[in-house]
């Protein structure tokens, strides 16, 4: 089969032929990958930055977001069968730790990640444990099924609190931020305000239904948000940039008693006025990791199956796997939404 592989501890990835993983453990499932999508994490691995050097052990197949069809199952697999259309959680829970045993598998203490700790999904076939698979309605187009994992990040982050009638500020209109725009809109937010600095991403936010898009390098975000909210500030902040300045500006634009849902991953430690920006404002903050297993997947499925959210603006590139370099290039330049690879 063909696969996109991190061959050596150096920048880049290689398309090459590798053996199909034929040997299945009792709880393993072999899936024919149909579509896979490139995530920011894959870009880190492609660039071979400090984060990936610490975690990735080449040679290893890259990728974790995908959809496909079950082609064979291990002896004890009972939740999926050959021919099922599936999507997959990328965080593999141990099912034994305290968190796994108490309904919090998404923050498993012994979490393994597809394409990080083991071979990933940028290949014609992938072997995954049964526990991560989620059957998907075949009526959902493959391109949208492929991005249900990051769509789930948007859902998990946005729905930590009731958004009905709330003024929601989203910092960072990357693929996840713009999907969160749509989730907030469908959940009855009063106004969805987006802070973003890149032109391509501002346009995506607009297409996904943002009410107002503010470029904080050109306008004062806090002043603008206050002007839109009777001088109060936003009720909810969805932090989806991973940028320190954006996060501080986001906190400063909130009304007292607001809720913060933090998805963005920052390059290092943060330093900010926690007394003034957080404690004395009486904020509540949620740290978001991944997606809830499998509540988030159920919400994602229902929103897509019933066409409550249209993800078409987010899917900006669909490329044959052989052209993966082109996909990484547009991702790195920030002139894409989600890039889908066909296997
Ligand atoms: P992305 O990098 O494509 O999007 C981030 C966006 O923020 C970009 O469009 C960028 O232009 C914008 N931005 C940067 N600086 C800004 C500023 N000062 N003001 C306003 N906007 C600014 O990322 P993505 O794939 O959409 O993911 C969003 C974030 O979530 C990233 O930080 C990613 O690492 C993180 N993430 C976290 C989890 C988790 O489980 N916690 C999972 C997936 C992604
Ligand atoms: Zn666990």
Find the CATH number of the domain harbouring 178. Answer: 3.40.50.720
Ligand 1 pocket, 171 CB below 6 A?
Answer: yes
Q: What is the mean pLDDT of residues 286-309?
A: 98
Task: Please report whether residue 324 resides in a domain.
Answer: yes
Ligand 1 pocket, 250 CB below 6 A?
Answer: no
Say if residues 312 and 290 touch (Cβ distance below 8 Å): no
Q: What's the domain count of the chain?
A: 2
Q: Do 171 and 109 share a domain, yes or no?
A: no
106: CA distance to ligand 2 center in Å? 8
Owning domain of residue 62: 2-147+311-342
171: CA distance to ligand 1 center in Å? 8
Ligand 1 pocket, 240 CB below 6 A?
Answer: yes
Task: Please report whether residue 303 resides in a domain.
Answer: no
Instruction: Quick: pLDDT tens for 199-216.
Output: 999 999 999 999 999 999
Instruction: Quick: pLDDT tens for 313-330.
Output: 999 999 999 999 999 999
| Statement: the pTM of the whole predicted model exceeds 0.95 | yes
Q: Do 39 and 114 share a domain, yes or no?
A: yes
**For the chain, percent of residues with pLDDT exceeding 70:** 100
What's the pLDDT score for residue 244? 97
Task: Please report whether residue 247 resides in a domain.
Answer: yes
Is 317 annotated in the active site?
no
Say if residues 89 and 294 touch (Cβ distance below 8 Å): yes
Say if residues 278 and 251 touch (Cβ distance below 8 Å): yes
Distance between CA atoms of 332 and 326, rounded to whole angstroms?
10
Task: Please report whether residue 300 resides in a domain.
Answer: no
Task: Please report whether residue 192 resides in a domain.
Answer: yes
What's the pLDDT score for residue 286? 98
Ligand 1 pocket, 336 CB below 6 A?
Answer: no
Q: Is 283 helix (H, G, I), strand (E, B) or coil?
A: coil
**For the chain, percent of residues with pLDDT exceeding 90:** 99
Q: What pairing do the DSSP bridges indicate for beta strands 254-262 and 284-287? A: parallel
- Mean residue pLDDT across the chain: 97
Say if residues 163 and 236 touch (Cβ distance below 8 Å): yes
Q: Do 229 and 187 share a domain, yes or no?
A: yes
Q: Confidence class of residue 170 from pLDDT cuts 50, 70 and 90? A: very high
Residue 126, token pair as written in the block: 């992938």
What's the pLDDT score for residue 322? 98
Q: Do 21 and 135 share a domain, yes or no?
A: yes
Task: Please report whether residue 301 resides in a domain.
Answer: no
Ligand 1 pocket, 208 CB below 6 A?
Answer: no
Q: Do 54 and 187 share a domain, yes or no?
A: no
Q: Do 71 and 186 share a domain, yes or no?
A: no
Ligand 1 pocket, 51 CB below 6 A?
Answer: no
Task: Please report whether residue 305 resides in a domain.
Answer: no
Q: Which atom of ligand 1 is found nearest the CA of 289?
A: 40
User: Out of 14, 27, 41, 171, which one is annotated catalytic?
Assistant: 41
Distance between CA atoms of 170 and 195, rounded to whole angstroms?
6
Which CATH number belongs to the domain containing residue 142 in this structure? Answer: 3.90.180.10
Q: Do 323 and 254 share a domain, yes or no?
A: no
Atom 34 in ligand 1: residue holding the nearest Cα: 265
Return the best residue to mutate from 40, 104, 268 for the ligand 1 pocket (most ligand atoms within 8 A of CB).
Answer: 40
92: CA distance to ligand 2 center in Å? 8
Instruction: Quick: pLDDT tens for 90-144.
Output: 999 999 999 999 999 999 999 999 999 999 999 999 999 999 999 999 999 999 9
Task: Please report whether residue 41 resides in a domain.
Answer: yes
Ligand 1 pocket, 339 CB below 6 A?
Answer: no
ipTM surpassing 0.95, yes or no?
A: yes
Q: Do 251 and 132 share a domain, yes or no?
A: no
Is 44 annotated in the active site?
yes
Q: What is the mean pLDDT of residues 257-263?
A: 98
Rg of the chain in Å (alpha carbons): 20
Q: What is the mean pLDDT of residues 59-79?
A: 98
Q: What is the mean pLDDT of residues 284-298?
A: 98
Return the best residue to mutate from 177, 216, 237 for the ligand 1 pocket (most ligand atoms within 8 A of CB).
Answer: 177
Q: What is the mean pLDDT of residues 194-198?
A: 98
Q: Which atom of ligand 1 is found nearest the CA of 201?
A: 9
Which-ligand-closest: CA of 131? 2
* 49 Cβ contact partners less than 8 Å away, ≥ 6 residues apart: none
Q: Do 131 and 254 share a domain, yes or no?
A: no
- What is the DSSP code string of 137-193? -TTS-HHHHHTHHHHHHHHHHHTTS--TT-EEEEE--SHHHHHHHHHHHHTT-SEEE
What's the pLDDT score for residue 88? 98
Q: Do 6 and 129 share a domain, yes or no?
A: yes
* CA-based end-to-end distance of the chain: 10
What's the pLDDT score for residue 234? 99
Taken as a whole, the chain contains a residue count of 343
Q: Do 280 and 161 share a domain, yes or no?
A: yes
Q: Do 192 and 248 share a domain, yes or no?
A: yes
């Amino acid at each position: 089969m063909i696969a996109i592989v991190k061959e050596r501890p150096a920048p880049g990835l290689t398309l090459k032929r590798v053996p199909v993983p034929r040997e299945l453990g009792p709880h393993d499932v072999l899936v024919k990958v149909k579509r896979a999508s490139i995530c920011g994490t894959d870009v880190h691995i492609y660039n071979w930055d400090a984060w990936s050097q610490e975690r990735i052990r080449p040679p290893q197949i890259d990728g974790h977001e995908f959809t496909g069809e079950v082609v064979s199952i291990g002896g004890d697999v009972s939740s999926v069968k050959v021919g099922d259309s599936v999507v997959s959680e990328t965080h593999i829970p141990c099912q034994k730790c305290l968190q796994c045993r108490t309904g919090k598998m998404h923050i498993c203490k012994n979490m393994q990640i597809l394409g990080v700790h083991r071979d990933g999904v940028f290949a014609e076939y992938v072997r995954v444990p049964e526990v991560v698979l989620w059957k998907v309605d075949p009526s959902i187009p493959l391109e949208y099924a492929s991005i249900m994992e990051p769509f789930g990040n948007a859902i998990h982050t946005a729905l930590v609190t009731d958004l009905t009638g709330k003024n929601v500020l989203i910092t960072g209109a990357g693929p996840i931020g713009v999907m969160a725009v749509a989730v907030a809109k469908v959940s009855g937010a009063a106004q969805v305000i987006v802070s973003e600095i890149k032109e391509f991403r501002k346009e995506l936010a607009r297409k996904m239904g943002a009410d107002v898009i503010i470029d904080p390098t050109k306008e004062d975000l806090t002043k603008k948000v206050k002007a839109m909210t009777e001088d109060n500030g936003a009720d909810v902040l969805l932090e989806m940039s991973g940028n320190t300045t954006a996060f501080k500006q986001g906190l400063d634009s909130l009304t007292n008693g607001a809720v913060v849902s933090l998805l963005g991953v920052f390059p290092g430690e943060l330093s900010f006025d926690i007394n003034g920006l957080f404690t004395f404002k009486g904020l509540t903050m949620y740290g978001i990791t991944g997606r809830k297993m499998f509540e988030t997947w159920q919400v994602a499925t229902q929103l897509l199956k019933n066409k409550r959210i249209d993800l078409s603006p987010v899917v900006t590139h669909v490329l044959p796997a052989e052209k993966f370099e082109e996909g990484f290039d547009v991702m790195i330049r920030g002139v894409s939404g989600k890039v889908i690879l066909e296997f």
